[in-house]
Chain A
């Protein structure tokens, strides 16, 4: 089955802890993206990567970090510096140069 997988589906953490969200794709897509979704605010871009070992900040990168060591994988770390980390996090990918973007199933992170 080709697609984007995100794990886990639900994640709970205590305030002050860093947490890493997984995103893997076997679509052979070059570009990968992380979005944050909050009620009534649509999707906001956190980080994106066009190729391996390269990534750029999106609109709301503060308090987040990423790595892109493999084409298939683009993990997102939510650090303790992120003031309001509780949200639904979505990973997406596309073929570089094309405009169609495909989304994973999402991870709901709750920080208390």
Chain B
């Protein structure tokens, strides 16, 4: 019940295209859903996050769509650029002082010219 399932494992998108990464969870206690971006040899950096009281959050070219009833959320990268080539992790966590993040297995995105 603690798992977060992420797909696809890898993704190749042409420059200017839309990249879509999907995640699904089972634990209904999760109430914070961040996405992290990681470049090779670096630590993950928080990209964007959403709470279940909204169905969509947009920051620049990055949008999270959230479907509470289906227990799914996705990251959309509009107008994908070569600089977006990285590994993306979804995660989820419940509220609480001792809460821990549960991560998806990651999606390696390559944006080609």
Binding site for B on A (CB under 8 A): 4, 6, 33, 40-43, 45, 48, 50, 56, 58, 90, 92, 96-97, 99-106, 108
CA distance A6 to B41 in the complex (A): 13
Residues from chain B with a CB closer than 8 A to the CB of A45 are 100-101
B105/A90 in contact, CB under 8 A: no
A102/B46 in contact, CB under 8 A: yes
CA distance A108 to B40 in the complex (A): 12
Q: Which among B45, B95, B103 has the greatest number of chain A C-beta atoms within 10 A?
A: B103
Q: What is the distance, in angstroms, from B3's C-beta to the closest C-beta of chain A? A: 10
A105-B103 contact given A96-B97, A97-B97, A99-B32, CB 8 Å threshold: no
CA distance A5 to B14 in the complex (A): 35
**Interface residues of chain B: helix, strand, loop or mixed (majority):** loop
B42/A105 in contact, CB under 8 A: yes
A43-B89 contact given A50-B98, A106-B43, CB 8 Å threshold: yes
Q: What is the distance, in angstroms, from A32's C-beta to the closest C-beta of chain B? A: 12
Residues from chain A with a CB closer than 8 A to the CB of B46 are 100-102
Interface residues on B, range: 20 to 34
Residues from chain B with a CB closer than 8 A to the CB of A104 are 43
A90/B43 in contact, CB under 8 A: yes
Residues from chain A with a CB closer than 8 A to the CB of B97 are 50, 96-97
B104/A106 in contact, CB under 8 A: no
A42-B43 contact given A50-B98, A101-B101, CB 8 Å threshold: no
A100/B49 in contact, CB under 8 A: yes
Chain A residue with minimal CB distance to B4?
A42
Residues from chain A with a CB closer than 8 A to the CB of B105 are 40-42
The answer to whether B63 has its CB under 8 Å from any CB of chain A is no
The answer to whether B112 has its CB under 8 Å from any CB of chain A is no
- A–B pairs, 12, beta carbons within 8 Å: A6-B43, A40-B106, A41-B105, A43-B44, A48-B100, A58-B100, A90-B43, A100-B34, A103-B36, A103-B44, A104-B43, A106-B43
Q: What is the distance, in angstroms, from A37's C-beta to the closest C-beta of chain B? A: 9
CA distance A103 to B89 in the complex (A): 13
Residues from chain A with a CB closer than 8 A to the CB of B69 are none
